Amino acid sequence: MGAKVAIVGYGTIGKRVADAVALQDDMEIAGVVKTRVSFELSVAKQKEYPIYASDQKSLSLFRGVGIDVQGRVEELLKRTDIVVDCTPKPIGAKNRESLYEPYKMKAIYQGGEKASVSEVSFVAQCNYKEAFGKNHVRVVSCNTTGMSRTLYALHQAFGIKRARATLVRRGTDPGQVKRGPINAIVPTFELPSHHGPDVRTVIPEIEVFTTSLVVPTTIMHMHALSVRLEKEATTKDVLDVFANTPRVRLVKAWDNVHSTAAIMEMSRDFGHPRGDMMEICVWEEGVGSYHDELFYMQAVHQESNVVPENVDAIRAMLEITDDPEESMKKTDESLGLKRWW
Amino acid sequence: MGAKVAIVGYGTIGKRVADAVALQDDMEIAGVVKTRVSFELSVAKQKEYPIYASDQKSLSLFRGVGIDVQGRVEELLKRTDIVVDCTPKPIGAKNRESLYEPYKMKAIYQGGEKASVSEVSFVAQCNYKEAFGKNHVRVVSCNTTGMSRTLYALHQAFGIKRARATLVRRGTDPGQVKRGPINAIVPTFELPSHHGPDVRTVIPEIEVFTTSLVVPTTIMHMHALSVRLEKEATTKDVLDVFANTPRVRLVKAWDNVHSTAAIMEMSRDFGHPRGDMMEICVWEEGVGSYHDELFYMQAVHQESNVVPENVDAIRAMLEITDDPEESMKKTDESLGLKRWW
Amino acid sequence: MGAKVAIVGYGTIGKRVADAVALQDDMEIAGVVKTRVSFELSVAKQKEYPIYASDQKSLSLFRGVGIDVQGRVEELLKRTDIVVDCTPKPIGAKNRESLYEPYKMKAIYQGGEKASVSEVSFVAQCNYKEAFGKNHVRVVSCNTTGMSRTLYALHQAFGIKRARATLVRRGTDPGQVKRGPINAIVPTFELPSHHGPDVRTVIPEIEVFTTSLVVPTTIMHMHALSVRLEKEATTKDVLDVFANTPRVRLVKAWDNVHSTAAIMEMSRDFGHPRGDMMEICVWEEGVGSYHDELFYMQAVHQESNVVPENVDAIRAMLEITDDPEESMKKTDESLGLKRWW
Amino acid sequence: MGAKVAIVGYGTIGKRVADAVALQDDMEIAGVVKTRVSFELSVAKQKEYPIYASDQKSLSLFRGVGIDVQGRVEELLKRTDIVVDCTPKPIGAKNRESLYEPYKMKAIYQGGEKASVSEVSFVAQCNYKEAFGKNHVRVVSCNTTGMSRTLYALHQAFGIKRARATLVRRGTDPGQVKRGPINAIVPTFELPSHHGPDVRTVIPEIEVFTTSLVVPTTIMHMHALSVRLEKEATTKDVLDVFANTPRVRLVKAWDNVHSTAAIMEMSRDFGHPRGDMMEICVWEEGVGSYHDELFYMQAVHQESNVVPENVDAIRAMLEITDDPEESMKKTDESLGLKRWW
């Protein structure tokens, strides 16, 4: 018997976190909470996740169409040790106030929420210990997690003077059809885009500035980074660091992995559930130096890369272990990720 | 120990057929044949499929980069009971002449090849018995297989006077980036498009006429069909038939399955390997009648829907069983498809 | 001095209708009405179209940012003979009630509105005379106009027993970025889709049934039609009819016009304003017969094909001429369309 | 009577350069050369551009289908003062050797060719005088031209220490359907991408490093730039410089110009032929500073932005004027570009 975990918001992230939690030997799914009818509920049922409705209206709706629903979210919270809130922003912040605080629940929020929703903005390999025993922790967004993983590794190895990144973001997720763009590039008119400051909620000591734009693709984000390092580092030095960094994978154009589409294809071939790629993929052929600047390109699978962080955040907050490596190894082994230990 | 199967051409279709064959208790993979270096070779190795090179040049290339290769395709053929040729057209026809006939190999071809490459154009639920004991069989294309499955079921239940279909085809497969269109609709200037006549290579008695166009998507084809039936049939009658037809799945917009993207999402959630959907998906809300005409819309997963046919064709050609239902049940159960038996 | 025309709603359709009206020697632009700030206002100003605000809030907004605005829509109506309402549905119907009826204005609505908004659903070459002297006329949608033009011509020449069409629709307009789909085909779950019945609001005597789906492109719709004719007609007979039909253009794949993208490219090369293609384009190579059925494919430029109908509707409603050919010739000559007279 | 200009290669760039040349009072089109049959030939004929075939095969083909062709390219060269070669790379370089040198023709090449094809790599506002009287000049690519225009202006005003750019490139041109990607981001595995060094063929004194990737859009490239300046400059200083730089246009998200799609829409509204945008568009809201770094985003219309450079290069090479401003004003006024003089 492990920690009882409730998943509030059973969509793109929620369903993945649920499956990841269910794979751990020290956790179990107490229930999943949904608002609307969808095929995802039949899958939840098949996986024997108890289903709860987010409110009375959903409860009536679910019952009306014959969904096997256990009750409302409030009932679930009574049987739960911790909540992973995977609702779209800003519902997480509202839930904190209306549900989690009244019920004295520990809760994990996703990166769409503001940093102020929680005590810690979390990326396991950067600041696991800060989340130890905490009540409210935010797993940062896919983009922020992606940058944090590689920048932190570089910072530890060589020191970072400054980092610059252009984020080329997907328009919407693969299962969605309502959002565009269909044929345009849409710049973000924030300077820096919120991603740079967001990295600093995790790793305050790195000076990072980002710009961002959105393009007509659904499958991955791409980051073009340029980093000025404190110490000299050859391309090989950098590749060696990434090769040993958890949750970062080197991929090779030479091996026919030429695009985000090829990464997704490879991940499907690996047999990963849903074809997910939870590791940040850095192209070997995209790493290079020019004077004191390091350039690299990385691809981020927005649907899944934060999943392992949610699992680790549970262990930290419930004080299951205070050793980040122990938690991350357990998580990564269960999910079939790269062996780095 | 089962039938030894060689996969010649280890790409989109070949790798899926290999995995499906490996799941059968009456077959095993003798080897897979590839021409170019790609991440797919590492996956093959991990799955313990013996790797062969398609020619001397590939053999040297593979050896040069350290791929664990067993030899050339000719050596594989000596250890093989049957070949599944999954090369792009028209290499299958060339291979028949240069390889399979000289080596007296039974061979299965894919739907890109002309019907004349083989003795039988095959869709398991339509004409399994015609392939029994044959030496050269062609599994028809994804589009032809898709139409054959639903039209044959309707024809058996109600009789078909004439069928008309508009095929809205994906531009290229999800892992590919070279082919377009990016922002256009491209009509096919064949009347009928080759798909209509191709259905008649499988079910000669159905009068079917198709038009076709290509659109900027990678994930599924969509068919809009209109069929005049011999017997009267209500929408419910038709849904009942499809509900009991092998390798056809009813999906519901009501259940949030509104698009080809949602079908793919559902299939990933089901935990299907690679997120594949081997069944033809018919929308319940897209079935309707008007006078003596039946209208329906179906989605076809071009990467995977012919995979079960390849497995059944092996059983038919090697005379493992002469009972189509026995083979199809075995195949479908191993692949986790819909239970129709 | 000609008829004074107000354009209410100055977006994709409105700005085109304004420019077309301004080209006529028997009409002039009394003013254009807009709600939000946009570059389109500077273009309007440059063209010397008087600018009005749709309400007090917009008026203040426009004045606040220095736009040269004449006043509110109500003031414009006092100086106007007829309104062309180009607002998004269902604002046209609301405007009829709150503005046009109180001000006793004749008004033209666009095809997004329900047929009941007006006395006549209008396509110039089908039913110009029905709109003569009327007060409220609806120019039907781009898709309905497209089908009406070719079906009516066929019906007059050969008689139509029944028409069937699959409409492959663009996701959004080229200048828009919010709507998708990015990578999916989205079927419409209406049987028939509303387009079939809508054609019958214009040509009640044609039995037409349509299905529809949306694809990830911005530039044109495509219709795949199959029509059973009363009289026998060869492909050449049909091409001859279309060659002489107003606002229908034959295009040739042979001439490198292979796709909707190539049609748009051709139209830009013709020097058409905005690269518009107001004619329905039928591919010569896409026309063919099978027994008593005629098949053809046509492309519809959703941004512009209804523009000439709006101009003709003005002439009919204001009784400028009761001769459809006279109006259509004048319109088409001014817009540089195909010579059919 | 002006300089006689031959356009060799009458595609995306060639047809635009032809139209621009035809607008000048000191030049005329001696002929345009094409290889394949296409609707573009009918447009050329309508514009009264003499048509020539690129070789004997094309000549026979054109004559066979009734195209009014004057002869082969060699005959055109005899009546020509200068050639603008707009063929796809590397045909320009081949033509230099086989045609232009034997015929002692001055020739302009496009940016797909290597810099070594010519004596000067040309952007009018950067190095017009270097091309004065030269025989072989290369107008650099759309991306290089785009970066050169804004970087050179910044360099003159403030001095540039180093420039960094991420180029987010369109997959193919709007009229094309064969090339992808449909749903992927494709990084370029060159570090730097060739664009950085290419800028230095025009402005050797600027240290510029670029990375590049391709996305599924057809309409414009987007550049995200970061530049370290010698002198301090506020955002306003920078905007003032761009406001006065030829062939650079400031656009405003505030004005509803939020994306590349909106720029194209605006350009169509302006009435520009083919909806072209020959100016580099910089978003006002995308310009900002952080310490000594300037960030900005610019959009480049790959089909048309090099057209004015081709016109100016003709004037420089034929010594029509040695004053860059005189030539550029003449060009820009004829093309309806921004008034900067």
Give the closest of B213, B259, B283 to C224, CB-based.
B213
Question: Cα separation of D226 and A156, whole Å?
Answer: 26
Residue whose structure tokens are 């900005």? D296
Distance from CA of A222 to the nearest CA of C (A): 17
Judged by CB atoms closer than 8 Å, whether chains meet at C172 and A178 is answered as no
Judged by CB atoms closer than 8 Å, whether chains meet at D217 and B183 is answered as yes
State the best of A17, A39, A182, A301 to mutate against chain B, taking most chain B CBs within 10 Å.
Answer: A39
Task: Write out chain C's pLDDT in tens, 341 residues.
Answer: 699 999 999 999 999 999 999 999 999 999 999 999 999 999 999 999 999 999 999 999 999 999 999 999 999 999 999 999 999 999 999 999 999 999 999 999 999 999 999 999 999 999 999 999 999 999 999 999 999 999 999 999 999 999 999 999 999 999 999 999 999 999 999 999 999 999 999 999 999 999 999 999 999 999 999 999 999 999 999 999 999 999 999 999 999 999 999 999 999 999 999 999 999 999 999 999 998 899 999 999 999 999 999 999 999 999 999 999 999 999 999 999 999 99
Is the torsion defined by CA of D285, D290, D292, D293 positive or negative? negative
Judged by CB atoms closer than 8 Å, whether chains meet at C261 and B220 is answered as no
Query: Is pLDDT of A1 > 70?
Result: no
Task: Supply the ipTM of this predicted assembly.
Answer: 0.97
Judged by CB atoms closer than 8 Å, whether chains meet at A180 and C176 is answered as yes
Give the closest of D174, D178, D182 to B216, CB-based.
D182
Helices (H), A223-305: 235-243, 260-269
Judged by CB atoms closer than 8 Å, whether chains meet at C217 and A182 is answered as yes
Phi-psi region of A103 (alpha: psi -120 to 50; beta: other; left: phi over 0): alpha
Q: Does A200 touch chain B (CB under 8 A)?
A: no
Q: Tokens in use for C226? A: 């199959």
Q: Which residues in chain A are closer than 8 Å to D226, comparing Cβ atoms? A: 164, 209, 211
What's residue B261's pLDDT? 98
- Pick the closest to residue D296 from D231, D254, D332, D248 (CA basis): D248
Task: Name residues 221-250 of chain C within 8 A of B (Cβ).
Answer: 222, 224, 226
- What does the pLDDT look like over A111-141, one tens digit per residue? 999 999 999 999 999 999 999 999 999 999 9
CB A125 within 8 A of CB A327: no
Residue of B nearest to A19 (CA): B269
Question: Cα separation of B48 and B51, whole Å?
Answer: 9
| Longest Cα separation, chain D | 66
Residues across chain C: 341
Question: Cα separation of A293 and A233, whole Å?
Answer: 9
Question: Cα separation of C315 and B165, whole Å?
Answer: 42
Residue of B nearest to A217 (CA): B217
Torsion, Cα B113 B118 B124 B127, to 10 degrees, reads 130
Average pLDDT, chain D: 97
What's residue A292's pLDDT? 87
Query: Is pLDDT of D243 > 70?
Result: yes
Query: Is pLDDT of B291 > 90?
Result: no
Tell me how far the alpha carbon of residue B262 is from its chain's centroid.
Answer: 21
Report, as an integer, the average pLDDT of D227-233: 96
- Pick the closest to residue B219 from B287, B161, B150, B268 (CA basis): B268
Residue of D nearest to B171 (CA): D182
Q: Does B262 touch chain A (CB under 8 A)?
A: yes
Q: Which residues in chain C are closer than 8 Å to A172, comparing Cβ atoms? A: 180, 182
φ and ψ of A173, to 5 deg = -80, 160
CB B136 within 8 A of CB B116: no
Judged by CB atoms closer than 8 Å, whether chains meet at B42 and A176 is answered as no
| Longest Cα separation, chain A | 66
CB B81 within 8 A of CB B4: yes
Give the closest of B36, B255, B269 to A15, CB-based.
B269
Is the torsion defined by CA of D263, D265, D268, D270 positive or negative? negative
What's residue B131's pLDDT? 98
Judged by CB atoms closer than 8 Å, whether chains meet at C187 and B261 is answered as no
Residue of C nearest to A172 (CA): C182
Tell me the DSSP string of C274-301: GG---SEEEEGGG-EEETTEEEEEEEE-
Q: Does B213 touch chain D (CB under 8 A)?
A: no
Tell me the DSSP string of D161-218: EEEEEEEEEESS-TT--SB--SS--EE---SS-THHHHHHHH-TTS-EEEEEEEES-S
- What does the pLDDT look like over C184-241, one tens digit per residue? 999 999 999 999 999 999 999 999 999 999 999 999 999 999 999 999 999 999 999 9
What's residue A291's pLDDT? 86
Q: Which residues in chain C are closer than 8 Å to A216, comparing Cβ atoms? A: 182, 216
- Pick the closest to residue D183 from A269, B216, B39, B258 (CA basis): B216
Q: Which residues in chain A are closer than 8 Å to B182, comparing Cβ atoms? A: 183
CB C78 within 8 A of CB C90: no
The percent of residues in chain A predicted with pLDDT above 90, rounded, is: 98
Report, as an integer, the average pLDDT of D224-235: 96
CB A191 within 8 A of CB D288: yes
What's residue D32's pLDDT? 98
Contacting subunits of D (3+ beta carbon pairs below 8 A) = A, B, C
What's residue A7's pLDDT? 98
What's residue C292's pLDDT? 87
Distance set, CA D154 to CA C9, C36, D37, D126, D332 (Å): 41, 34, 45, 12, 21
Judged by CB atoms closer than 8 Å, whether chains meet at C180 and A182 is answered as yes
Judged by CB atoms closer than 8 Å, whether chains meet at B261 and A183 is answered as no
**Fold: same for A3-140+306-335 and A142-300:** no
Report, as an integer, the average pLDDT of A158-187: 98
Judged by CB atoms closer than 8 Å, whether chains meet at C191 and B295 is answered as yes
Query: Is pLDDT of B141 > 90?
Result: yes
Q: Where are the domains of chain B?
A: 3-140+306-335, 142-300
Q: Does D64 touch chain C (CB under 8 A)?
A: no
Architecture, CATH, for domain A142-300:
2-Layer Sandwich (3.30)
Q: Which residues in chain C are closer than 8 Å to B216, comparing Cβ atoms? A: 183, 215-217
CB A180 within 8 A of CB C171: yes
Judged by CB atoms closer than 8 Å, whether chains meet at D178 and B179 is answered as yes
HSE toward the beta carbon, residue A48, CA cutoff 13 A:
2
Query: Is pLDDT of D1 > 80?
Result: no
Q: Which residues in chain B are closer than 8 Å to D180, comparing Cβ atoms? A: 171-172, 176-180, 182
The percent of residues in chain D predicted with pLDDT above 90, rounded, is: 98
As assigned by CATH, the class of the A3-140+306-335 domain is: alpha beta
- What does the pLDDT look like over C140-193, one tens digit per residue? 999 999 999 999 999 999 999 999 999 999 999 999 999 999 999 999 999 999
User: Which positions ≥6 away from C45 have C-beta within 8 Å?
Assistant: C51, C67, C68
Judged by CB atoms closer than 8 Å, whether chains meet at D177 and C40 is answered as no
Give the closest of B40, B177, B265 to A174, CB-based.
B265
Q: Does C328 touch chain B (CB under 8 A)?
A: no
Question: Cα separation of C266 and D5, whole Å?
Answer: 24
Q: Which residues in chain A are closer than 8 Å to B261, comparing Cβ atoms? A: 174-177, 218
A126 catalytic, yes or no? no
